[in-house]
Amino acid sequence: MNPSTLDALHEIFGADALSTEAAECAAYGYDNSRREARPEAVVFPTAHDQVGALTKLCHDQRVPLVARGRGTNTTGASVPLAGGIVASFERMNRILAIDPGNRLAVVQPGVLNADLQTALKPHGFFWAPDPTSAPFCSIGGNLACNAGGPRAVKYGATRDNVLALRAVDGRGAEFRCGKPTTKGATGYDLTRLLIGSEGTLAIITEATLKLTPLAGATRTLAATFVDVACATAAVTRIMAQPVIPCALEFMDGEALRLARNHAGDAIPQAGAILIIEVDGEAETLDSSSQAIRKAASVDGMLDIRIAADGAEAHRLWQARKALSPALRTIAPNKINEDVVVPVSRVPELIARLQVISKKHDIPIVTFGHAGNGNIHVNLLYQPERTDQVRNAPACLSEVFDAVLDLDGTLSGEHGIGLLKREFLPRAIDPVALELMHAIKRQFDPAGILNPGKLLP
């Protein structure tokens, strides 16, 4: 690194918040995609002004800068491909305000999702995004990838639950966007633009989040089916009636088998399962549960039952959340995609995935947030199988083609990052893509912010 750049970093951060030591830099050079590239330095901001000074320095000296949460991303979005500097926000982790009267909280980007939920609970509120990685992922990372989770089916993903942001653009210029109000029609919506931009447009230093009151009670149902087609048909019926579940999760037969290994007999044997949660006041849950039962009762349903108690419901959810790491132990190099199609077309997607799996002789395990069409597609190829290694790229390409044919999108909550970047021109038309490039140039004229990500 240029000595003058290093000297300037020392002035901004001091020795205790800056490292150029090789081992520590390597620890901040990878994420859950298992891709890695070592930065030249890692810094640990604690204040907005430091982020502004850092970004201006990187702009002026043309040094790549990657903002990092906790590295749970699966698409390589936080891997510093071009070296440069990683800004880890783990020390910028304060909850600045909780305002129940206005249903909002103000937080720094390093706050962990689960820590925020714990702080909100005594006030009777929660923040809607609840990814599986909630105990480990940061709010900044949730903002960067527009994180969702099971509750998004009723309460929306990150973009639907943020009111305002404070940020620094690629020149080091500070700006605010949005207001602490749920309505606003003043200018372009830069808040929603920044969410999901994966740190390529600006670095967020503060977020005003929209809160939702906790429900008085919840009820968890498990519906089993003879096969995937019947289960996905039930999803369409459930989402076409007035009672919106707060979660509607899907697991195919192979996912169920793996879940049984984790949770035992709490997980039934079947061709597919839907885990359905309804919430509201206690006196309304009987009628809500009956409406869900009726909608789920399609040909091929084996059983539908209500979890006997909180412990059984917890085991169901823990088994669902353990699936992704369990699949990683079976196929360490598995390809995990989080595609989305319109809910009514989920049955078509699952049918096409089965054909693609058979064609390429690669097992495909599916589970996910079926209530909003967000299906996690796992290609379980084995590195010792040369035929599977050879077929995997074509298999993935056909998966994306099927999704786009069904008017779907490449990602619901994991983002594009590095791993899906080459597929973006299939999903976005040329004029829209050029507008995105123009927006990137406007926010980050020197191209220093997370270079090589998202845009092809």
Distance CA(327)–CA(143), nearest Å, equals 26
- Give mean pLDDT, residues 288-311: 93
Q: Which helix (H) or strand (E) holds 22?
A: helix 22-27
Q: How confident is the model at residue 316 (pLDDT cuts 50, 70, 90)?
A: confident
On the question of pLDDT at 266 being above 80, the answer is no
Q: Give the model's pLDDT for residue 314.
A: 86
Q: Give the model's pLDDT for residue 332.
A: 79
Q: Which residues contact 379 (CB under 8 A, 6 or more apart)?
A: 334, 335, 336, 337, 362, 363, 364, 392, 395, 396, 399
All structural domains of the chain with their residue ranges: 3-88, 95-213, 217-323, 325-416
Q: Are 357 and 228 in contact (CB under 8 A)?
A: no
Give the domain 217-323 fold. Alpha-Beta Plaits (3.30.70)
Token pair 């429900």 in the structure block, residue:
215
Fold equal for 217-323 and 325-416? yes
Q: Are 145 and 415 in contact (CB under 8 A)?
A: yes
Q: How confident is the model at residue 271 (pLDDT cuts 50, 70, 90)?
A: very high
Distance CA(66)–CA(453), nearest Å, equals 10
Q: Please report which residue ranges of 361-429 form alpha helices under DSSP H.
A: 386-405, 424-427
Dihedral pair phi/psi, residue 282, rounded to 5°? -55, -40
Name the DSSP letter for residue 223. Answer: E
Give the domain 3-88 fold. 3.30.43
Q: Give the model's pLDDT for residue 260.
A: 79
Find the length of the chain: 456
Q: Give the model's pLDDT for residue 358.
A: 96
Distance CA(148)–CA(437), nearest Å, equals 26
Summarised one tens digit per residue, pLDDT across range 92-125 is: 999 999 999 999 999 999 999 999 999 999 999 9
Q: Give the model's pLDDT for residue 303.
A: 94
- Give mean pLDDT, residues 287-314: 93
On the question of pLDDT at 317 being above 90, the answer is no
On the question of pLDDT at 265 being above 80, the answer is no
> What is the value of pTM for the model shown?
0.94
Q: Which option is the CATH number for 95-213: 3.90.1150.10, 3.10.520.10, 2.30.30.180, 3.30.465.10?
A: 3.30.465.10
- Give mean pLDDT, residues 160-165: 98
Distance CA(198)–CA(263), nearest Å, equals 35
Distance CA(377)–CA(337), nearest Å, equals 5
Q: Give the model's pLDDT for residue 357.
A: 96
Give the domain 325-416 fold. Alpha-Beta Plaits (3.30.70)
Summarised one tens digit per residue, pLDDT across range 203-226 is: 999 999 999 999 999 999 999 999
The 10 Å CB-count burial string (b at 16+, else e) for 344-378 is ebbbbbbebbbebbeebebbbbbbbbbbbbbbbbb
On the question of pLDDT at 326 being above 90, the answer is no
Residue type, 247: A
Distance CA(115)–CA(99), nearest Å, equals 16
Summarised one tens digit per residue, pLDDT across range 384-394 is: 999 999 999 99
Q: Give the model's pLDDT for residue 152.
A: 95
Q: Identify which has the larger pLDDT, 50 or 312.
A: 50
Dihedral pair phi/psi, residue 374, rounded to 5°? -95, 100
On the question of pLDDT at 126 being above 80, the answer is yes
Q: How confident is the model at residue 85 (pLDDT cuts 50, 70, 90)?
A: very high
Distance CA(15)–CA(31), nearest Å, equals 25
